[in-house]
Amino acid sequence: MAIRPILHFPDPKLRTASIPVVEVDDNIRTLIDDMLETMYEAPGIGLAAPQVAAFQRVIVVDTSEDRSTPLVLVNPELLECRGMEEMDEGCLSVPGIFEPVERAEWIRVRALDRNGQPFEMEASGLEAVCIQHEIDHLDGKLFVDYLSDMKRNRIRKKMEKQRRQTL
């Protein structure tokens, strides 16, 4: 297992649409294990493969209190969305920024597990928000895209300034 570096907004690579996984093989399982280690170390409650520059449709999530319940979703598909809720969101690719975003509060999802077996699940609250946030990453979309142009530009400038200071 290895921790992989996380890309930061406004890196254009985060805008890549990730491609479906054709076969859940050992390479994909290594990616999954590295993503889990990177998510727990960050620490974050979710991570999408494009955040670590792997442009395949893989996400990991753990919203459990004791961070003991890793959830792996390969080729996740939103089947159903219900209700709306507004929650403060953050993103490991936009560090230090927290802004309210409106999302479905209940979802049903289909995906493949780490053995390539299809399964369906329901999620609500923070877990539902996190899964929607991660699926957006697979489509090159970031939570800052839901904010006003003014807010997003302010965040971009802040990130670019931070980057210059750390280089």
Residues recognised as catalytic: 134
Min dist. Cβ of residue 91 to Ni ion (A): 3
Burial of 81 (0-12, 13-18, 19+ CB in 10 A): middle
Contacts of 90 (CB under 8 A, 6+ apart): 97, 98, 143
- Of 28 and 52, CB closest to Ni ion: 52
Binders of ligand GNR among residues 129 to 158 (CB under 6 A) are: 129-130, 133-134, 137
Check if the beta carbon of residue 107 is closer than 8 Å to that of residue 81.
yes
Q: In what order do the strands lie in the sheet with 46-48?
A: 46-48, 58-61, 71-82, 106-112, 118-124
If contact means CB under 5 to 8 A according to the sort of partner, which of ligand GNR, Ni ion, none does residue 47 touch? Answer: ligand GNR
Map residues 61-90 to x or -, x wherever contact with ligand GNR holds by CB under 6 A. ----------------------------xx
Min dist. Cβ of residue 94 to Ni ion (A): 7
Which residues contact ligand GNR by CB under 6 A? 44-48, 51, 89-93, 129-130, 133-134, 137
